[in-house]
Amino acid sequence: MNINKTLALRLFIALITTSLLISCNNSRDYKDSSRATGWKMNAKEGGFKYNPKAKEQETGPGLIFIEGGTFTMGRVQDDPMHDWNNTPNQQHVQSFYMDETEVTNLMYLEYLDWLKSVFPPSDENYRQIYEGALPDTLVWRNRLGYNEVMTNNYLRHPAYANYPVVGVSWIQAVEFSKWRTDRVNEFILEEEGYTARGARYDVEPGETFSTQTYLNAPTKTYGGKDSITRGGSQSERIAERSEDSTNLYVQRKDGLLLPGYRLPTEAEWEYAALGLVGLRNYNVYRGRKKYPWDGQYTRSDKRRSRGDQLANFKQGDGDYGGIAGWSDDGADITAEVKSYEANDFGLYDMAGNVAEWVADVYRPIVDDEFNDFNYYRGNVYTKNAIGEDGKVKIVTSDSIVYDTLSNGRIVARNLPGEILQVPVGEEETYQRTNFSESDNRDFRDGDKRSSRRYQSFADEFSTDDENEENRMYNSPKNRVLTDSTGQVDMQYDQSNRRTTLIDNEVRVYKGGSWRDRDYWLDPAQRRYFPQDMATDYIGFRCAMSRVGSKSKKGKRPRN
């Protein structure tokens, strides 16, 4: 009996020891060692470096998380004109982030102040950078109206600081988004101790921070000043424990830098504006929505605010804000952001106030037969330009490229410190099935294969204007020429045979504005406007892609 007890005890101890060893080994495999090779990660001796503390994407300044899903894109409510350019179609949108409010005058003035400080307009080399970013304040003028107070004050007076910026073209909105990306990531690196503290306040032209430059050529960031790019306390600790130069800088794999701010796609904007998250039972939507809020009317039915308008829009002929003393919507032109309740996603002014630019090139038809996932028309694929030394080309003060727009305005295509971009070539498209060229704006709609009067030899070899007018989208071709003295010659298209205003340079804008009747408040409504022009009723807000999981929280049954 004693022998059996001793043997059993030994077997029990051996079993426990084996279990502990297995447990330790499994723990090591998952926490310290690679599941692919078994090698220890982040070892002092070298090898693969990985950030085990990296978590899900942080929410950038000003943004709200929008959980993606499926929805019916296109008009599903009032359609008295039977407008064929808005046929309902089912789409799926990935999770993303969107600005809580429209970009305000104060936010845009911060952008202008930075440009003026870094690229002083008093310097002839940079004058057009600042001037190209200025909003067009003359959009307020009306030949039979007195609006000079807005022309002179709306952008800069503090009374309008938190009002949505207007007079901004689609191109200017895109440039603002790029600037915002770089300033946010620059601040993150400084706060985390990777770059020298306070360096962002004292930069020279050509020595600015660019997110893409830092990720692709970190030694060229800040004009190659290593004292800035590795001037933080965290950088010193990294240098002490790492002999590999590739690990001396933050990389994508560290999960620290945010994806770029950008304009939302049309599908994203419409999905976010509808806020259908508040109208679902499990995996089924409970009815339809005509506006970003619940109900079929523009007035509130809540007890405390009953009768109040839920958005800022034109009430009727000559009625932009109601009777004095009891205003219907509290505004006559634009209104201060957050003046009305947010929708179910927490977004403000997704109807009314100002209409908003989205990223898409306009076409009458959304080609859902080709794609129903993250739909977007406007892809122009580029790559980093590589110099003769095999390294990326950085834009300098002497290599800034300026574009002359159709309205005669001159804007900078890139800024010093950024990586020069060039179209993708055959080496990227050869034998690919998902894309075959750099510019895809007119893919399957308006290109040669879908032209109304396509004649292969004529389209390929003929250059006469008569043949061009037979194209599906033969929009006016105004020309702006600059001579050797810098004088601009603006030439209008004199042809009387143009049949459309649609081309690859017009962009979609969504949502009703203070100038629009309630018909345009439906998030499914879509209109277009030239991308290089501006108005007093179109603004914008930024979006950002979501990296990682679709949801921020675990799934559970919910009503």
Share of the chain above pLDDT 90, in %: 50
The 10s digit of each residue's pLDDT in 99-112 is 999 999 999 999 99
Distance (Å, rounded) from C-alpha 205 to C-alpha 117? 9
Interval 109-119 mean pLDDT = 95
How far apart (Å, rounded) are the C-alpha atoms in residues 49 and 57? 20
> Does residue 86 register a pLDDT over 90?
no
Let me know: does 47 contact 32? Beta carbons within 8 Å: no
Class of domain 58-192+256-373+510-552: alpha beta
Provide the pLDDT for residue 354.
97
Q: pLDDT at residue 34 above 50?
A: yes
Beta bridge partners of 72: 90
CB within 8 A of 346, min separation 6: which ones? 64, 100
Number of neighbours of residue 373 by Cβ within 10 angstroms: 11
434 C-beta neighbours (distance < 10 Å), count: 5
For β-strands 355-361 and 538-539, DSSP reports them as parallel
Residue 315 has pLDDT above 70, yes or no: yes
- pLDDT, position 458: 43
Least confident of 117-131, 241-255, 536-550: 241-255
- Of 41-55, 361-375, 444-458, which one has max mean pLDDT? 361-375
Q: Tell me the one-letter amino acid at 438.
A: S
Q: 3-state secondary structure string, 338-386?
A: CCCCCCCCCCCCCCCCCEEEEEEECCCCCCCCCCCECCCCCCECEEECE
Nearest alpha carbon to residue 212 among 399, 424, 394: 394
- How many angstroms separate the CA atoms of 421 and 548, rounded? 27
3-state secondary structure 400-429: CCEEECCCCCEEECCCCCCECEEECCHHHH
Average pLDDT over all residues of the chain: 85
Instruction: Judge whether residue 201 has pLDDT over 80.
Output: yes
What amino acid is encoded at 294 in this protein?
D
pLDDT of residue 166: 98
Collapsed DSSP state (helix, strand, coil) of residue 113: helix
Q: Look at the alpha carbons of 338, 343, 347, 350 in this order and tell me if their dihedral is positive or negative.
A: negative
Q: Whose CA is closest to 457, among 465, 466, 448?
A: 448
DSSP string, 278-305: GSEETTEE-S--SSSSSSSSSB--STTT
- Four-point Cα dihedral 374, 544, 166, 524, nearest 10: 30
Helix (H, G, I), strand (E, B) or coil at 32: coil
How many CB atoms are located within 10 Å of the residue 108 CB? 24
Output the pLDDT for position 330.
Answer: 85
Rounded to two decimals, what is the model's pTM?
Answer: 0.88
* Both tokens assigned to 158: 């503090």
Hey, CA dihedral for 104, 64, 210, 439, is it positive or negative? negative
What's the pLDDT score for residue 35? 85
pLDDT digits 0-9 by tens, 326-351: 778 889 999 999 999 999 999 999 99
Largest separation between any pair of C-alpha atoms in the chain: 112
Phi, psi (rounded to 5 degrees) for 273: -65, -40
**308: Cβ–Cβ under 8 A, 6 or more apart, which residues?**
299, 300, 328, 329
Q: Look at residue 24 in the predicted model and tell me its pLDDT.
A: 52
- Which range, 151-160, 201-210, 470-479, is most confident? 151-160
Domain boundaries, the chain: 58-192+256-373+510-552, 442-503
pLDDT at 155: 96
pLDDT at res. 447: 58
Q: What is the pLDDT of residues 387-410, one digit of tens each?
A: 888 899 999 888 888 888 888 888
Q: Are 48 and 38 in contact (CB under 8 A)?
A: no
> Two tokens at 274?
């509808």
Q: Are strands 69-73 and 89-93 parallel, antiparallel or unpaired?
A: antiparallel
pLDDT at 465: 47
Counting beta carbons within 10 angstroms of the beta carbon of residue 409, is it exposed (0 to 12), middle (13 to 18) or buried (19 or more)? buried
Q: Is the pLDDT of residue 353 over 90?
A: yes
Over range 140-163, report the average pLDDT: 96
Q: Which pLDDT score is estimated for 494?
A: 83
% the chain with pLDDT above 70: 83
Of the two residues 484 and 419, the one the predictor is more confident about is: 419
Tokens of 364: 């009458």
The confidence score (pLDDT) of residue 459 equals 43
Q: Which residue has the higher pLDDT, 199 or 285?
A: 199
Tokens of 238: 């990294």
Helices (H), 206-345: 211-216, 226-229, 233-241, 266-274
Measured distance CA(522)–CA(511) in Å, rounded: 7
Q: What is the pLDDT of residue 479?
A: 79
Q: What is the pLDDT of residues 12-33, one digit of tens each?
A: 676 676 665 555 554 444 467 8
* Residue 71 or residue 242, greater confidence: 71
User: What pLDDT shows up at residue 409?
Assistant: 85
Residue type, 112: L
Phi-psi region of 385 (alpha: psi -120 to 50; beta: other; left: phi over 0): beta
What the block records as the tokens of 372 is: 């129903």
